[in-house]
Structures are given as structure tokens and as C-alpha cells.
Amino acid sequence: MVDREDLRSQFVEAFEEADYPISSPMDLVPALPGGPSTKFESGDFSMTAMELNTKLNGEFPYESVDDFVDDVMASLEDQDLI
């Protein structure tokens, strides 16, 4: 079972250092501790940042980390990944 709050906090921690507003996924790479291979895990959910990028339904630009993470969580929920 996925702990949504834990997963959300992982996303915020990984993406909060990006230089917002961001206009593309490439704007996030320098902020990631492990670059595109940064892994997010909770329960039976495990995905790298690169894999995560292929699942996003949101529209760039994003003005804040919370706006971005809200869309990430919604995209994963919409696809029944969490």
C-alpha cells in the first residue's frame, strides 16, 4: 500500500530546489539529488524521476513546487499507479 503523504513529501523534497517557475521537465533535473535516476518509493510504488516524467499529464509552466507536486500526484492517481 502506498503512503501518499510520504510519497508527496519525497516529491517536494526532491523538486523544491528547482528554480521556479519551471517551463519543462529539464528545469527539474539540476534539483534532483540523483539526477534523472532519483528514485521515489513507498509501499509497492517505485519509480525513477525519468519514469515519472513519462506519466505526467500536467501542463508546464509551474509556478511552485506545490503546484507541480499536486499535478504529479493527480497524474499518478488518475493512472491508478498510487
Which domains are present in the chain?
A: 4-67 (1.10.238.80)
Q: What is the pLDDT of residue 58?
A: 80
Per-residue pLDDT of the chain (82 residues; tens, 9 = 90+): 889 999 999 999 999 999 999 999 999 999 999 999 999 999 999 999 999 999 988 889 999 999 999 999 999 999 999 9
pTM: 0.92
Q: What is the pLDDT of residue 12?
A: 97
Q: What is the pLDDT of residue 10?
A: 97
Distances (CA, A) of 58 to 23, 26, 47, 71, 78: 11, 15, 18, 6, 12
